Structure 1
Amino acid sequence: MLRNMGLYRTRMPRWGVPAASSLIALIAAVLAIGNTLAQTDQLILKVAKEYDVAIAGEQRDWFGYGLSVGDINGDGQADLLVGAPESDLDSRFRSGAAFGFLGPIDSTLSESSAADIKLKGFDVTAGIGSAVLIQDINGDNVADFLISSEEMGVDDTRHESGLIYVVLGPIQPTGASATELNDQAADFRILGPHRNYNTGKGLATGDVNNDGALDIAIGSPGGYGSRKGGVEIVLGPLDGSDIDLRDGSDVKLLGSIGTIGSTRNGDAAGGSIAIGDINNDGVDDIAVNSRSADVGDIENAGETHIIFGPLDPSALGELATQDEEGGIPIKSIADVTLQGEQERDNASASTLAIGDLDGDGINDLIVGSMQSDAAGSRAAGKVFVIKGPILSGIYNLDDAADVAIEGENPIDSLGSGIGVGDLNGDGVADLALAANFADPQEREDAGITYIMFGNIFEREPTPEESNLPQILIGVVVVIVVIAAAGGGIWYLRRTRRGAMPPM
């Protein structure tokens, strides 16, 4: 906006009525500039001033690194499941944990210790809670849990391959004591294919091939050569036995090698996945993030790709030869691409969710960008909401978003987790957002999960804390001093690019 302004110097007239009029005009111009800069079509909200519930983790828990909303106990009320992969629950170092909170949820909930369900990793550094999901995986109308550890090794040859535990419901409250999650407690597991793949960082379910059976998509952002990352899709119905991705899957979607700098800079695709009908055609679509994707000549700006369903494995198989890993390049079949705009911002790509936030029957897209700067705070994080339906095209994320929700403090990383559902039982979908590096009550990297009740699109913009009055006073003082000295003042004037300044 200011690129079309010129900064020029003019002589200050002798003090008097005309000069005073000029001063008043200048003050009005400063105010007008401030108002113009504040105007935007995007609804901007500050999470610290807009949340209705804030649940805090314990020191270094990373509470909110994983997040899901669903009906855990079958009472028709949405519940909340939060992953904390660095948790030392029950003094077990970095074993990780998952905390379940039964709804309805209200503002009296403020601590992770109040969880109705607590699951802990079976050993030190197990790190469970990288991703969590509430879903009826076996079709018995009872909710199940999917809880991953992206850093767990399957065996001695698969260090940090990643692992997902599937626990079939009904899930019972654990009370104050935590239940250990291990191979025996899980009903079956999904195993990462190779070392350092970080399988399970992204996790989603839905009917991607439109056959009526639930499918599961598993992200491995560290894998597939040069950290291209990718997503393996296992088509349902699932039979309840272990799934070893080393043996393959039904569909493999892969990221790309970076175009800037080292060729080791892959897209890291699959760190988050969402499945749902985003173009309102009645068929599930799949959204996949590529948090390290280059956008043009901007390194690591990040991208989110959406592929409209249904996915036909037989038709897609013809494209699998395009990549040496035997997968399908995501970019080659993406219908929608959302791009970040800042170098190493990793925007448009941290976390994803699909859900109907305003009750119009059409799903909306929520995109977390946990490394984005917000209101001058480095890596405070942002969450962008795009009202559906979303149609084919390539878009700048910030331009496309109808709502931007900003984190509170530097390095909070708002957007580490996202969930959608009616958590307070009023019939309207709510938005759960996590900032896993937030420091509540000076607990370093404890993490906070925020809940914002009601239709997000109907909120009023968070008022800006403007310092314009102080700036204006400073301008007046400077003008008076210069006038007394018989000098000149500087002023702004809008010009065409290339135009000569006035003499």
Structure 2
Amino acid sequence: MPPRPPSGVAAAWLVAALSVVAVAVAGRAALPQQAGTVDLLSQANLQINGAAAGDRAGLALASAGDVNGDGRADVIVGAYRADNRRRVDSGSAYVLFGRPTLRTVDLNALRGNGFRIDGAAAGDGAGFSVADAGDQNGDGRGDVIVGAPAARGTGAAFVVFGKKSSAPVDLAALGSAGYRIDGHRPGDSTGWSVASAGDLGGDRRPDLVIGAYRADGRSRVDAGSVFVVFGKASTRAVDLGRLGSRGFRIDGATAGDEAGRAVSGAGDVNGYGRP
């Protein structure tokens, strides 16, 4: 069964994202300075508490599809300044399994209610952006994508396949658990934004869209670029500098445009049967 759209408890979690605000200052985002809390004061009465001071939990939050295959929609929460595995500011993302009676979640003690995804290296900022990735490997579970805009100097994004286990995932040693998407050039901030693009390639696999808002495509400084990466089941890493037939790049129109600061799937705009 393919992942369901968010409903019930998970839909309420998405509404909670409205309480997380970044204020734009001089073209940059002023980020929250606390551990992070996503607090929904409505009938759902659900609160998600950050694991530690300074983690910035809740800056990014999205529906994750049905990651563990139990028929309920799940949620992914980013905490891009988390220091897990003694990697300062490596960042983390937390997948929270949907449950009808869940009221309060402490990201420091998930107790089987989900799993943690840890950034690969100090300073990566994994979890700055998070999104549902659809079912990349065709196993019937929803997968997720985690942006790490400071990884490897270029920025990167990581696809993590859905699973039932609550064991943490280390992005430094993904193995069969997913795959890495490496940025093109140093300073591009690849992974600043991530999203599912739907099935653009027509191969019945969901594709991905990744923003690199500081990219200098076509020699236009900070014009920004957006990369569409076709979905795949293989765990082989993707190099956006050598994308070839595995996707395509969209470059900002003029210098300073910062295209890719935000990305999203667009649906079937022209009515041709593809998003």
Flag whether TM exceeds 0.5 (same fold): yes
Equivalence for 1:430 = none
User: Judging changes above 3 Å, is the alpha-carbon distance between structure 1 residues 222 and 238 closer, same or farther for their aligned structure 2 residues?
Assistant: farther
Larger Rg belongs to = 1
Gaps of 5+ in 2: 24-31
Equivalence for 1:438 = none
* Per-residue deviation, residues 182-205 of structure 1 (Å, max 9, x unmatched): 321353211111111000123233
SS in 1 for 2:264: strand
Q: Is the 8 A contact 1:159 1:196 kept in 2?
A: yes
Cα distance in 1 for partners of 2:266, 2:70 equals 23
Cα distance in 2 for partners of 1:96, 1:296 equals 39
Equivalence for 2:255 = 343
Q: Is 1:332 aligned to residue 259 of structure 2?
A: no
- Cα shift at 1:116: 4.0
Task: Work out the percentage of aligned pairs sharing the same amino acid.
Answer: 22
Q: Is 1:159 aligned to residue 81 of structure 2?
A: no
Equivalence for 2:26 = none
* Per-residue deviation, residues 220-239 of structure 1 (Å, max 9, x unmatched): 11111xx2011222334453
Q: Is the 8 A contact 2:79 2:93 kept in 1?
A: yes
Q: CA RMSD in A?
A: 3.3
Cα distance in 1 for partners of 2:49, 2:21 equals 9
Q: Counterpart of 1:207 in structure 2: which amino acid?
A: D
Equivalence for 2:137 = 209
Q: Counterpart of 1:183 in structure 2: which amino acid?
A: N
Q: Is 1:219 aligned to residue 147 of structure 2?
A: yes
TM-score, normalization: structure 2? 0.77
TM-score, normalization: structure 1? 0.45
Equivalence for 2:116 = 189
User: Judging changes above 3 Å, is the alpha-carbon distance between structure 1 residues 74 and 351 closer, same or farther for their aligned structure 2 residues?
Assistant: closer
Q: Is 1:80 aligned to residue 15 of structure 2?
A: yes
User: Judging changes above 3 Å, is the alpha-carbon distance between structure 1 residues 155 and 304 closer, same or farther for their aligned structure 2 residues?
Assistant: same
2:36 pairs with one of 96, 105, 108: 96
User: Judging changes above 3 Å, is the alpha-carbon distance between structure 1 residues 142 and 212 closer, same or farther for their aligned structure 2 residues?
Assistant: closer
Cα distance in 2 for partners of 1:168, 1:296 equals 43
1:239 pairs with one of 165, 168, 177: 165
SS in 1 for 2:172: helix
Q: Counterpart of 2:6 in structure 1: which amino acid?
A: G
Q: Is 1:299 aligned to residue 221 of structure 2?
A: yes
Gaps of 5+ in 1: 1-68, 103-113, 258-264, 318-326, 357-361, 365-385, 392-503
SS in 2 for 1:189: strand
User: Judging changes above 3 Å, is the alpha-carbon distance between structure 1 residues 236 and 169 closer, same or farther for their aligned structure 2 residues?
Assistant: closer
Cα distance in 2 for partners of 1:305, 1:389 equals 21
* Per-residue deviation, residues 281-339 of structure 1 (Å, max 9, x unmatched): 432111111121112121111111112233534xxx4xxxxxxxxx4311422533222
User: Judging changes above 3 Å, is the alpha-carbon distance between structure 1 residues 170 and 267 closer, same or farther for their aligned structure 2 residues?
Assistant: same
SS in 2 for 1:343: coil
Q: Is 1:352 aligned to residue 273 of structure 2?
A: no
2:47 pairs with one of 118, 142, 161: 118
Q: How does 1:345-384 map to 2 (within 5 A)?
A: 345-347=257-259, 349-354=260-265, 356=267, 362=268
Q: Is the 8 A contact 1:152 1:160 kept in 2?
A: yes
- Cα shift at 1:149: 0.5
